[in-house]
Amino acid sequence: MMKIDTHVHTEYSPDSETTIEEAIEAAKIAGLNGIAITDHNTVDGVKEAFDLVEEDDFLIIPGIEVSSKDGHILGLGIEEDIPSELSVEETVARIREKEGIAISAHPFSLSSKPFSPLGSDFDAIESFNSKRYIGTSIATRYAHINHLSQTGGSDAHFPEEIGLAGIELDCKPLVREIIEKIREGKASIFGRFLPPTAYLRRALK
């Protein structure tokens, strides 16, 4: 059984100082088999991570979190940058052109266009995000009603947050197989919220 955090930021995101080495080490301590590196509008961290891990030791899923005009979109299976500030439709199309899957990130969070997934053609919806207390139940219900696949992720910007949430899959440690399992709705979600006091400390920092 593979246990993966699908939403992790590193120092390649402007709002995180976590190094790639710290992210990998924290994930291993948390008992994960892999992480998706999803920095804001860049895949540069993915390239560094590939150089640091042995293929059979720990799995790196290449990814990105794109700031579209209509909210944040996770692209998993992506090794090339996707332009920001495109429409949700164009962003999803670009991700699929690069053989990735497009996931609506924290879709009903009040902090970033909370209804961005409505009527959009995503491959999955992030129904559990460790930092988004408001919107999780709405996202889960929306996914069920619209028969959308679901993912979970910590949205970690600090090492100790990695592994707070993610997915479990019964599959081989292969990126393409994991991508397809997510697309097919065969991922189970696990997670817990970041404690409010820790969230406030992060926000102040």
Across the beta sheet with 124-129, the strand order is 149-153, 124-129, 101-104, 71-76, 59-68, 34-37, 2-8, 165-169, 188-191
Give me the pLDDT at residue 149, please.
97
Per-residue confidence in pLDDT tens, the chain, 205 aa: 999 999 999 999 999 999 999 999 999 999 999 999 999 999 999 999 999 887 667 999 999 999 999 889 999 999 999 999 999 999 999 999 999 999 999 988 766 665 666 668 899 999 999 988 778 888 999 899 889 999 999 999 999 999 999 999 999 999 999 999 999 999 999 999 988 777 676 666 6
Quickly list H helices, 17-174.
20-29, 44-52, 88-97, 136-145
Reduced to 3 states (helix: H, G, I; strand: E, B; else coil), residue 39 is coil
Question: Taking CA 166 as the corner, what is the angle to CA 28 and CA 137, rounded to the nearest 5 degrees?
Answer: 155
What is this structure's pTM?
Answer: 0.93
Q: Which two tokens stand for residue 193?
A: 């919220």
Residues 6+ apart with CB under 8 A from 33: 2, 3, 4, 58, 59, 173
Helix axes 20-29, 44-52, angle to 10 degrees: 60
